[in-house]
Structure formats: structure tokens, C-alpha cells
């Protein structure tokens, strides 16, 4: 009942413009695909021949009225040159978020769009901004405890984001008992989707909720000039000749089973249950892991991204749960170890 009321409320917002958009899509034979808070046209568009356009052919469009959609924007921006892709950022209610990206067939087409539409009055009292896309590809993650390990962070990121090239952990320059991480993605689009996923997923590593933002150039320079070497770095793809294999669910389970075996515990038993689904496809899972021989079950909640790689969301949830159990079990077993005897020094 609640979901039906929410859907009715969502559909009722800006209903006339939404209906006009649907009619335009049908008339033009255009398919718009929405995923993770953005709606995409093209990439490539119908009739495109050849590979994608070169770099630096994308423009950023801001200050859009929230009730304007692609049936107005795509014909307008197509008039400046050949569009390869158009991405409009969307809210859950179906309004746009006030900005979009248009990628053109050539840099000259993109330049023409900026010249034609920067400070263009889209409607009375509404002047839009059009400029070169900055193509940011690096994110900063704050709020990581000192106990967060490199492999744990990598495994979590591979579960909930795509297109990651490198992960680098640093000691935080502003907090003594903290780490921060710099994440580099293969494209601005991949980084933007990752930022949204990490922010909306309410993800945690340890006790603190992670804080995610674009990497500030000044902080980047400060980290590069820091006297200490980064704590660790992982690189994937063609960024490095030596590429470690990505962590899989089986790798994590093997580590957990080995730890249990060493401490005379039996094989962990997993239970996962989807308890909530967001409009953008994210699923919230509850999990509980019982380890025969360990004093209490270990449970918690997590958000899992929509599946795009053939792995079921229950498998993803099991992998993240296994990472959490490894941390809890490791800390508990460590606390039970006898203290090292003190060495008495002579006078």
C-alpha cells in the first residue's frame, strides 16, 4: 500500500511533461535508458558508424529547469552538431536534477554548442550554463578507520562500483587515527556513478560511515608532496604491467574458512534476505552468519548495487557479509590471545 501511494505520488509530479516526453519517444523511435540516477540517449545513437568520439568532446549543461526533459533538450543541442550521447541526471520523483552532459561527434561540434547555448535563455527568466566537461575521474573517501585493510576496501568497491582503475590508501593529514582513500575511475561517467552509489549506499567499513566527494586538486597536490609513501596501492587494467586478480566471493570465503579452521571453528552458515528495494534498483539486505563454535551469530545490513555482471545479489551480499565476519572474528580472536610477557631489563 505504501509503495503504491509512493508510486502514485511520483507519477503525479510534472505529469504533463512526462506524457509529452513519452509521446516524443514513441514518435521519434528513441529509447532512453535510466540507471543509477541518470537517463541516457545514444552512446552510440541510432545509425552511428565507427568507434566513439575522441576525448574532450563532452559539454556540461547546468541550471536547467527541473521540469524540462529530453524532448526539448536533445533537439536543441542536436542543432549545434552531431550528438553521440546525452545524459540527463534524474531524481527519484522523475524531475531532472538541473544538469546534464552532451557528448558530440567532434570537438568542433562541442565548441559550437558552447558558443550557441552558454547563457542561452531556455525560457523566460531561465538562462542556462554550457561549458566544457571537467572530466573528473578521482574520488576522495574519508571516514576510514586505521584498521581498514587494502584488500577489504578493494573487495567492497568491486562489489558496488564499476570501472575502477586504482585504489590508494593514505594516512589522513588532518586526523591522527584515520585513513583516507583516493579512487581513480576509467571515465568521468564511471566516477560519477560510483560517487552516487557510494553516497546512497550508506556503506561502512568499520564503525564510521564513509564520506565520498570529488578529489580536490589542492589536496591531491598535498598528498603527492607528502613525505610518507601511500599506505598501499592497487592498480587494475592497463595502468600497470603487474595486475593482481580481482577478489572474488570464493577468495573471501576461502580466507574465512581458513581462519575458522585454524581456530577450531566449523564452517560458517550464511543467511541473507532482501528487505528493501530502492527505485533505482539498489537492494538492502539483512544478513546473519552463524559459526558453530563461536559464541554469537554475526548480523548486519548492507546495500547492494543492481546486478550487471551476472553475479546474483545474494552472492554479492554473502561476499560483503564474509568481509564483515572476517573483521569481527579476527578482532575477537585477537583479543583472546594471551598478553606477551614483559621483558625485564637489567639496571
Predicted local confidence at residue 228, as pLDDT: 42
The burial of 166, by beta-carbon neighbours within 10 Å (0-12 exposed, 13-18 middle, 19 or more buried), is given as middle
- Residue 162: in which H helix or E strand, if any? none
The CATH number of the structural domain formed by 249-332 is 3.30.160.20
Maximum CA extent, the chain? 93
Distance between CA atoms of residues 128 and 99, nearest Å? 9
Distance between CA atoms of residues 268 and 298, nearest Å? 10
Q: Which fold has domain 25-132?
A: Alpha-Beta Plaits (3.30.70)
The x, y and z cell numbers of residue 172, run together, are 589522513
Torsion sign across C-alpha atoms 22, 27, 31, 32: negative
- Taking only the tens of pLDDT, the chain with its 347 residues reads 545 565 565 677 888 889 999 999 999 998 898 876 789 999 999 999 999 998 889 999 999 999 999 999 999 999 999 999 999 998 877 889 899 999 999 999 999 999 999 999 998 889 999 998 877 889 998 878 777 777 778 777 877 788 888 888 887 766 666 788 888 888 888 888 888 888 776 566 655 667 889 888 777 777 766 534 444 444 444 433 333 344 456 777 878 888 888 888 888 898 888 888 876 677 778 888 888 888 788 887 777 766 555 567 788 788 878 887 877 776 665 555 444 444 444 44
Distance between CA atoms of residues 288 and 233, nearest Å? 32
Distance between CA atoms of residues 50 and 203, nearest Å? 40
Overall residue count recorded for the chain in this entry: 347
Homologous superfamily (CATH) of 138-227 is RRM (RNA recognition motif) domain (3.30.70.330)
Distance between CA atoms of residues 269 and 288, nearest Å? 8
Q: Which of 35, 12, 33, 32 is nearest to 23 (CA)?
A: 32
Tell me, yes or no, if the two domains 138-227 and 249-332 fold the same way: no
Per-domain residue ranges of the chain: 25-132, 138-227, 249-332
Torsion sign across C-alpha atoms 288, 204, 145, 194: positive
DSSP code at position 311: -
Give the predicted TM-score (pTM) of the model.
Answer: 0.51
Backbone angles phi, psi at 156, to 5 degrees: -65, -45
Predicted local confidence at residue 330, as pLDDT: 67
Amino acid at each position: 500500500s505504501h509503495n503504491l501511494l509512493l508510486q502514485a505520488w511520483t507519477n503525479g509530479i510534472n505529469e504533463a511533461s512526462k506524457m509529452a516526453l513519452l509521446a516524443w519517444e514513441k514518435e521519434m523511435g528513441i529509447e532512453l535508458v535510466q540507471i543509477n540516477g541518470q537517463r541516457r540517449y545514444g552512446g552510440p545513437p541510432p545509425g552511428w558508424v565507427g568507434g566513439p568520439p575522441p576525448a574532450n568532446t563532452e559539454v556540461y549543461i547546468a541550471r536547467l529547469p527541473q521540469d524540462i526533459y529530453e524532448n526539448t533538450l536533445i533537439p536543441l543541442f542536436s542543432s549545434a552538431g552531431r550528438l553521440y550521447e546525452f545524459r540527463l541526471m534524474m531524481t527519484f520523483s522523475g524531475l531532472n536534477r538541473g544538469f546534464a552532459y552532451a557528448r558530440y561527434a567532434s570537438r568542433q561540434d562541442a565548441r559550437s554548442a558552447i558558443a550557441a547555448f552558454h547563457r542561452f535563455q531556455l525560457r523566460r527568466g531561465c538562462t542556462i550554463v554550457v561549458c566544457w566537461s571537467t572530466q573528473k575521474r578521482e574520488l576522495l573517501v574519508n571516514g576510514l578507520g586505521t584498521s581498514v585493510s587494502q584488500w577489504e576496501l578493494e573487495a567492497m568497491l568491486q562489489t558496488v562500483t564499476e570501472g575502477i582503475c586504482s585504489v590508494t590508501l593514505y594516512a589522513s593529514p588532518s586526523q591522527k587515527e584515520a585513513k583516507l582513500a583516493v579512487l581513480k575511475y576509467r571515465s568521468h561517467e564511471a566516477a560519477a556513478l560510483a560517487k552516487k552509489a557510494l553516497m546512497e549506499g550508506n556503506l561502512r567499513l568499520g564503525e564510521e560511515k564513509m564520506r565520498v566527494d570529488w578529489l580536490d586538486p589542492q589536496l591531491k597536490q598535498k598528498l603527492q608532496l607528502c613525505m610518507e609513501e601511500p599506505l598501499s596501492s592497487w592498480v587494475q587494467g592497463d595502468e600497470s604491467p603487474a595486475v593482481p586478480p580481482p577478489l572474488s566471493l570464493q577468495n573471501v570465503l576461502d580466507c574465512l574458512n581458513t581462519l575458522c579452521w585454524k581456530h577450531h571453528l566449523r564452517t560458517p552458515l550464511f543467511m541473507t534476505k532482501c528487505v528493501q528495494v530502492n527505485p533505482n534498483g539498489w537492494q538492502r539486505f539483512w544478513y546473519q552468519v552463524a559459526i558453530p563454535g563461536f559464541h554469537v551469530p554475526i548480523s548486519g545490513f548492507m546495500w547492494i548495487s543492481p546486478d550487471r555482471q551476472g553475479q546474483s545479489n545474494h552472492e554479492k551480499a554473502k561476499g560483503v557479509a564474509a568481509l564483515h565476519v572476517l573483521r569481527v572474528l579476527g578482532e575477537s580472536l585477537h583479543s583472546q590471545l594471551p598478553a606477551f610477557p614483559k621483558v625485564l631489563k637489567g639496571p
